[in-house]
Amino acid sequence: MNGRTAQRIARTAVFTAGALTGMTLASAGLLASQAEAARRTIPLAEGPPPRADGVFGAKFGGRPLVLAVLGDSTAAGYGVLRTRETPGALLATGLSRRLRRPVRLHRFAVVGAITDGLRHQVQDALEVRPDLAVILIGANDVTKRTPVTVAARQLADTVGALRGVGAEVVVGTCPDLGTIRPIKPPLRWLARRWSRQLAEAQTIAVVEAGGRTVSLGDLLGPRFFAEPTRMFAWDHFHPSADGYAVAAAAMLPTAVAALGVPSAQASTLSLDQGVRSLSDAAQEAVKHAGTEVSAERVAGRDRGPLGRWVRLRRLAVMPRQQTPDQDTAAVPLDKALSGKGDMTPQESTDGRGHDGMM
């Protein structure tokens, strides 16, 4: 995101039906001034994020599990300087250690991507026939005001294409842009509302298409506000290395469970949230960051009177900067998720995309 993105939020706020009922000219002027302030605060992107494509955990031997990462700048790891700090590298390392097997990472995510852009990414991803695909998308759809129904349908198409080749799919739903400090109220409140509307629609679309979701929401929000210089990157918008590590730790249990290893999931997810309809679960997940939503069967049926059955699993509270490991005692995040010594870099393109957006 950059200043032009913030201005788009303000402009769209004025014209979005129902979003600003009773809005006065004075409040419209306030939004415009806030957009200008955000433009000065959030700089343009200075270059592509580092690439981490390669093999992680080669020491385990055997056929590598193929991991594809699709999405926008948060999926690409914009804001960090080292390959091992990108979300793809963190997830690949975590998976290789949990599963005791090598993981081959392919990053297709592009800075600035909106959900419509996934159709290009998924075509490349299908060529590598991934065992697991992780998608992080949505923030740019909020800032560009892509209609929620359109973005959800495009995401469902992407998930369906990946499931069609046998890949398990985990989607981190739209983050809460209301946690971004350069965006001030009331612009922040609008960004939060739009983010949550999209995240809810994404949850329904993904699960109906055969994937799983993890709500990111304001997962990093409280810590961002408490430690902004640590959890934010230099642009005050994208996560820092520590911020990405927290997000990766939240998604890792679901990624492991999607691959058929449920025992590893129990260590970091509470299993007492129960089974409910998909629409109810989507609303609940938006309220609680770190909540997984996955399809479930009840009495041999996948649907009830209110629609598809799903199970909610909520991220358990973890010690500061630690994540439980199934095989050992709790270890620091940088030990559990980092790629030090585990990656074999491979040649790849630089992944340059649009300017300065997620």
Return the active site residues.
73, 235, 238
| Region for 145 from its dihedrals, namely left if φ exceeds 0, alpha if ψ lies in -120 to 50, beta otherwise | left
* CA–CA gap between residue 223 and residue 317 (Å, rounded): 14
Helices (H), the chain: 3-15, 25-41, 73-76, 87-99, 118-128, 139-144, 148-164, 187-208, 221-226, 228-231, 241-258, 262-265, 278-287, 333-337
Taking alpha carbons only, the member of 192, 154, 157, 187 closest to residue 175 is 192
* CA–CA gap between residue 233 and residue 178 (Å, rounded): 17
Angle among Cα 31, 42, 173 to the nearest 5 degrees reads 85
Angle among Cα 228, 234, 238 to the nearest 5 degrees reads 75
Number of H helices and E strands in the chain, helices first, is: 14, 14
Taking alpha carbons only, the member of 233, 294, 256, 238 closest to residue 93 is 256
